[in-house]
């Protein structure tokens, strides 16, 4: 009996470290998170969405936006002087000291890998002088550079404020944009970070349990966790196999385990059902009497069960999933200008020759009239001469 109980206990312990996955029923995944989105990391195609445009709180997923903005605007080798305001931040920290000097890159590493709220504020103050100005500039950057429209951040770390919000779709777009930067991608995928600060020397492990391997999932390449009591559990994760790269974001999960199980379900669905195709440069798509074409070879995402390509009136090609009719991707095409009608234009020599011919015709006509008149005179004189003799 004891042996049987021991086996059960071991089984339960092992199963607690296995991600739970379920197949989609009627195209719907059994997700516990209130908001979720699955994107193709390369094409941006939307493969799955749940309340994707509903405003929710991101918690520390905010730091993804802070990181890519700081990487693109700042000098990674510049030294940041830590303020008292940064040191006073609540929640997870990297235990900075007031007046401590740390490189911008190290602060970004501490912010993403250990979710340091103090590091995030130190970054904001270094980049734009204050948290307030940083937030204004960050929001403008997210809108103009990345193209999000339902996000408003008022701090760099995601500590709760009712006016600090985003959506699953916006966070997916932000993550997709950020991972194309090699510096960000390297830090986002860091599992172990040796930290050497003024008062804290340690080895930091990523908080992301799938990336760390605690909840193993093949192909995970990066991730960021988040939690506040108001936002609940949030997670952004990237993964890849030999055919496709995926980005998954889940928001507002009640239990920590739920966000990992939901992310695994999203990845299972994406890897099983989608693949890449290519629109060949110059390939013609017709609508009525108009023709459109891709200017370059263009990567697209298609369902493994088949996709339909539909051209709309604006010259945008819609890639539709044959299974459910959902639009996966929008591809703007170039309009092919119709060939101009051929108009025959005489050369200069031809024009001169024509004018010369016209002149000769005119002269010949005069000569003809004169000859006819002379002939008439001769005939008249001859008749008169005959009568006389």
Please give the model's pTM, rounded to 2 decimal places: 0.82
Q: For tokens 């991730």, what's the residue?
A: 223
Characterise 325 by phi-psi region: left (phi > 0), alpha (psi -120 to 50), beta (else). left
Read off the pLDDT of residues 170-206 as tens digits, 9 standing for 90 and up.
999 999 999 999 999 999 999 999 999 999 999 999 9
For the chain, what is the mean pLDDT?
88
Instruction: Please tell me the least confidently modeled range out of 14-18, 63-67, 211-215.
Output: 14-18
Instruction: Assign 340 a pLDDT band (cuts: 50, 70, 90).
Output: confident
Determine which helix (DSSP H) or strand (DSSP E) holds 246, and give its type and residue range. Answer: strand 245-253
The whole-number pLDDT of residue 25 equals 42
Instruction: Assign 292 a pLDDT band (cuts: 50, 70, 90).
Output: very high
DSSP state letters, 257-275:
HHHHHHHHHHHHHHHHHEE
Mean pLDDT of 201-227: 97
The whole-number pLDDT of residue 11 equals 38
Catalytic residue IDs: 60, 63, 115
Q: Can you read off the two tokens belonging to residue 95? A: 């235990």
The whole-number pLDDT of residue 347 equals 57
Mean pLDDT of 198-224: 97
Q: Are 294 and 287 in contact (CB under 8 A)?
A: no
Instruction: Assign 27 a pLDDT band (cuts: 50, 70, 90).
Output: low
Contacts of 270 (CB under 8 A, 6+ apart): 38, 40, 47, 48, 244, 246, 248
Instruction: Assign 2 a pLDDT band (cuts: 50, 70, 90).
Output: very low
Q: Which of 114, 306, 291 is nearest to 212 (CA)?
A: 114
Question: How far out from the chain centre does Cα 365 lie?
Answer: 78
E runs forming strands in 68-173: 79-81, 101-103
Q: What separation in angstroms does the CA of 129 have from each of 78, 81, 82, 123, 134?
A: 14, 12, 12, 9, 7
Read off the pLDDT of residues 236-285 as tens digits, 9 standing for 90 and up.
999 999 999 999 999 999 999 999 999 999 999 999 999 999 999 999 99
- How far is it, in rounded angstroms, from Cα 68 to Cα 146? 11
Domains of the chain: 18-271 (3.40.710.10), 280-335 (no CATH)
Tell me the three state secondary structure of residue 56: strand
Question: How far out from the chain centre does Cα 51 lie?
Answer: 19
The whole-number pLDDT of residue 357 equals 58
């Amino acid at each position: 009996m004891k042996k049987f109980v021991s086996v059960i206990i071991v089984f339960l312990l092992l199963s607690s470290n296995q991600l739970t996955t379920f197949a989609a029923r009627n195209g719907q995944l059994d997700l516990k998170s209130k908001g979720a989105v699955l994107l193709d990391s390369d094409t941006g195609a939307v493969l799955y969405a749940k309340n994707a445009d509903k405003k929710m709180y991101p918690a520390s997923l905010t730091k993804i936006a802070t990181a890519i903005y700081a990487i693109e605007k700042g000098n990674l080798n510049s030294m940041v002087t830590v303020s008292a305001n940064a040191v006073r931040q609540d929640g997870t920290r990297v235990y900075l000291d007031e007046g401590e000097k740390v490189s911008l890159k190290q602060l970004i590493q501490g912010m993403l890998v250990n979710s340091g709220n103090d590091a995030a504020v130190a970054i904001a103050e270094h980049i734009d002088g204050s948290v307030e100005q940083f937030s204004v500039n960050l929001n403008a950057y997210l809108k103009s550079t990345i193209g999000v429209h339902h996000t408003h951040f008022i701090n760099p770390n995601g500590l709760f404020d009712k006016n600090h919000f985003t959506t699953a779709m916006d966070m997916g777009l932000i993550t997709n944009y950020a991972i194309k930067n090699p510096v960000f991608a390297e830090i986002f995928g860091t599992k172990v970070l040796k930290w050497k600060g003024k008062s804290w020397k340690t080895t930091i492990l990523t908080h992301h349990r799938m990336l760390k391997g605690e909840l193993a999932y093949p192909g995970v390449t990066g991730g960021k966790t988040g939690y506040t009591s108001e936002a609940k559990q949030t997670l952004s994760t990237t993964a890849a196999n030999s055919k496709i790269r995926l980005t998954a974001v889940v928001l507002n999960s009640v239990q920590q385990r739920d966000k990992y199980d939901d992310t695994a379900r999203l990845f299972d669905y994406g890897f099983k059902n989608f693949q890449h195709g290519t629109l060949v440069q110059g390939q013609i798509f017709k609508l009525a009497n108009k023709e459109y074409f891709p200017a370059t070879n263009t990567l697209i995402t298609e369902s493994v069960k088949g996709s339909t390509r539909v051209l709309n009136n604006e010259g945008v090609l819609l890639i539709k999933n044959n299974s459910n009719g959902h639009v996966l991707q929008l591809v703007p095409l170039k309009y092919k200008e119709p060939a101009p009608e051929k108009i025959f234009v005489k050369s200069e020599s031809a024009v001169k020759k024509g004018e010369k011919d016209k002149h000769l015709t005119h002269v010949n006509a005069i000569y003809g009239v004169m000859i006819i008149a002379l002939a008439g005179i001769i005939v008249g004189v001859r008749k008169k001469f005959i009568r006389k003799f």
